[in-house]
A and B are shown apart, each in its own frame.
Chain A
Amino acid sequence: MRLTCPLCGPRDRREFYYSGAAVALDRPGAEAPPEAWDDHLHNRDNPAGVTQDLWYHEQGCCSWLKVTRNTVTHEILAVETVGGDSTAGGVA
Chain B
Amino acid sequence: MRYSGFRVLAQGLFGNTGWQPAWRDPVPKPDYDALIIGGGGHGLATAYYLAKNHGLTNIAVLEKGYLGSGNIGRNTTIVRANYFLPGNSEFYSHSLKLWEGLEADLNYNVMHSQRGLINLFHSDGQRDAFARRGNAMINQGDDAVLLDREGVRELLPYLDYDNTRFPIYGGLLHPRGGTARHDAVAWGYARAADRRGVDLIQNCEVTGIDIKDGRVTGVQTTRGAIRAKKVGMVVAGRSGQVAAMAGLRLPIESHVLQAFVTEGLKPVIDHVISFGMGHFYISQSDKGGLVFGGDLDFYASYAARGNLPMVEHVMEAGMTLMPMIGRARVLRSWGGIMDMTPDGSPIIDRTPVDGLFIDAGWNYGGFKAVPASGFCMAHLMATGQSHAVAARFRLNRFATGHLLDEEGTGSQHNLH
Contacts and interface: CB of A to CB of B under 8 A. Distances in A.
A1 B256 CA distance: 14
Chain A facing B: main interface SS: mixed
Contacts, number: 69
A31 interface: no
Contact of A71 (B238, B301, B398): B301
Contacts of A39: 249
B309 A51 contact: no
Nearest to B341: A42
A75 to B, nearest CB: 10
A44 to B, nearest CB: 5
A27 interface: no
A72 B251 contact: no
A62 to B, nearest CB: 18
A72 B303 contact: yes
B254 A42 contact: no
Contacts of B249: 39, 43-45
B241 interface: yes
Chain B facing A: main interface SS: mixed
Interface residues of B, number: 24
A42 B300 contact: no
B411 A41 contact: yes
B309 A46 contact: no
Given A19-B412, A34-B399, A38-B398, A46 B250 contact: yes
Contacts of A21: 253, 300
Interface string A18-59: 111100000000000011001101111111100101000000
A35 B398 CA distance: 10
Contact of B399 (A38, A53, A74): A38
B82 to A, nearest CB: 26
Contacts of A18: 298-299, 414
Interface in B248-302: 249-254, 298-302
Contacts of B299: 18, 53, 69
Given A34-B399, A45-B249, A74-B303, A14 B309 contact: yes
Contact of B254 (A43, A71, A73): A71
Nearest to B339: A46
Given A19-B412, A38-B398, A44 B240 contact: yes
Nearest to B250: A43
A41 B303 contact: no
B251 A42 contact: yes
Contacts of A71: 254, 300-303
B240 A13 contact: no
Nearest to A19: B412
Given A13-B307, A13-B309, A44 B252 contact: yes
A35 to B, nearest CB: 7
A71 B412 CA distance: 18
B414 A20 contact: yes
Contacts of B254: 46, 48, 71
A38 B398 CA distance: 7
Nearest to B337: A48
Contacts of B412: 19-20
Contacts of A72: 302-303
B165 to A, nearest CB: 20
Contact of A44 (B298, B301, B413): B413
B342 interface: yes
A43 B302 contact: no
B393 to A, nearest CB: 15
Contacts of A51: 300
B241 A1 contact: no
Interface in B385-409: 398-399
Interface string B301-328: 1110001010000000000000000000
Contacts of B241: 46, 48
Contact of A48 (B250, B252, B302, B398): B302
Nearest to B410: A41
Contacts of B411: 41-42
Contacts of A41: 342, 398, 411
Interface of B: 238, 240-241, 249-254, 298-303, 307, 309, 342, 398-399, 411-414
Interface of A: 1, 12-14, 18-21, 34-35, 38-39, 41-48, 51, 53, 69, 71-74
17 contacts: A1-B307, A20-B300, A20-B412, A20-B413, A21-B300, A34-B399, A42-B342, A43-B251, A44-B251, A44-B253, A45-B240, A46-B254, A53-B300, A71-B300, A71-B303, A72-B302, A74-B307
Given A12-B309, A14-B309, A44-B250, 17 more contacts: A1-B307, A20-B253, A20-B413, A20-B414, A21-B253, A21-B300, A34-B399, A38-B398, A42-B251, A42-B411, A43-B249, A44-B240, A46-B253, A69-B299, A71-B300, A71-B302, A74-B301
